[in-house]
Amino acid sequence: TIIVKVGGSAGIDYDAVCADIAQLWKAGQRLVLVHGGSGETNRVAEALGHPPKFVTSPSGYTSRFTDRETLEIFEMVYCGKINKGIVERLQKLGVNAVGLSGLDGRIFEGRHKDSVRSVENGKVKVLRGDHTGTVEQVNVGLIELLLGAGYLPVLTPPAASYEGVAINVDGDRAAAALAVAMKADALLLLSNVPGLLRNFPDESSLIASIPAADVESYLEFAQDRMKKKVLGAAEAVSGGVQRVIFGDARAGQPVSAALAGAGTVVS
Ligand code: ADP
């Protein structure tokens, strides 16, 4: 089984990703797709008069502050527009895809974190009313049920908290938890960059390979959101996933190319 996570940033070619996935799926490759939607969520949130708020933790990680209204906008975009857009593309290509969020059947489950520490003007503030968390449990049974019956699962945040409340979780780390739980052969994290760059945004500075034991030491090259991908990769390999690849989803055959070794290969 391979887990493909495709991001939600500008430039990602969903048509190319879906065409490639359809081809692999028809050739018999077991596959689960996880997607993001942050770029579109930012646009819709602005348009609805509730602009996105990002917080940076004292350790340097950036995340979306998700109050109730933001969570509802997040669901409209991730579970609605993006998820159904991908399912529709796959259906058109003759693949019987089923789109579900982590809330459905508690596919992704974790602890609800209500407050977040945020660094603002050099001071640490505590913000409450956050609907976020980290995936700790995966309902593998439901995914296996779908795969076994011939359906391609297309998954997206949010996750369910243990109390059954929707929580915003990082898609890369959710995909990593899924890859570990499913004992996947490979986890592909596809985005709008060629891979992990030594000197972002210089695309000629691509890091081609990273030894599995050293992933965390590469956190220093990743800024802001890329940090979550490197963290996800570290979690996946330490959980037994053989290969994690940071690949380019902007054109061509993004999944096949990454499987063939394009991008940054962690192994
Ligand atoms: P997605 O939504 O596609 O999953 P993110 O926007 O969360 O992707 O993360 C990818 C982004 O991380 C890139 O578009 C880039 O702006 C940023 N980035 C920061 N540091 C690096 C780096 N060292 N190499 C590549 N990308 C980086």
pLDDT attached to residue 60? 85
> Is any atom of ligand 1 closer than 6 Å to the C-beta of 222?
yes
Average pLDDT along the chain, 267 residues, taken 10 residues at a time: 96 98 98 97 97 91 92 98 98 98 98 94 94 97 98 98 97 98 98 97 97 95 91 97 98 97 97
pLDDT attached to residue 61? 84
Q: Where are the beta strands (DSSP E) in the chain?
A: 2-6, 31-35, 54-56, 62-64, 97-102, 108-120, 123-138, 152-161, 166-167, 186-191, 209-210, 243-248, 264-266
Mutate to test the pocket of ligand 1, among 13, 40, 191 (most ligand atoms within 8 A of CB): 191
**ω into 153 cis (within 30 of 0):** no
pLDDT attached to residue 101? 98
Domains of the chain with CATH codes: 17-51+62-113+134-266 (3.40.1160.10)
Residue tagged 């990593």 (tokens): 176
C-alpha 32/C-alpha 23 separation (Å) is: 14
- Vertex 61 angle, CA 207 and 181, to 5°: 75
> Is any atom of ligand 1 closer than 6 Å to the C-beta of 37?
no
Atom of ligand 1 nearest to the CA of 38: 2
How high is the ipTM of this complex? Answer: 0.89
> Is any atom of ligand 1 closer than 6 Å to the C-beta of 223?
yes
Nearest to 244 by CA among 171, 200, 185, 159: 185
> Is any atom of ligand 1 closer than 6 Å to the C-beta of 226?
yes
Question: Whose CA is closest to atom 7 on ligand 1?
Answer: 225
- Vertex 134 angle, CA 109 and 7, to 5°: 100
Q: Say if CB 38 and CB 9 are below 8 A apart.
A: yes
Nearest to 3 by CA among 104, 108, 103, 89: 108
Question: Whose CA is closest to atom 11 on ligand 1?
Answer: 226
Residue 126 pairs in a beta bridge with 117
pLDDT attached to residue 223? 87
C-alpha 112/C-alpha 91 separation (Å) is: 34
Question: Whose CA is closest to atom 14 on ligand 1?
Answer: 192
Atom of ligand 1 nearest to the CA of 249: 3
CA of 9 to the centre of ligand 1 (A): 8
pLDDT attached to residue 170? 95
C-alpha 237/C-alpha 249 separation (Å) is: 22
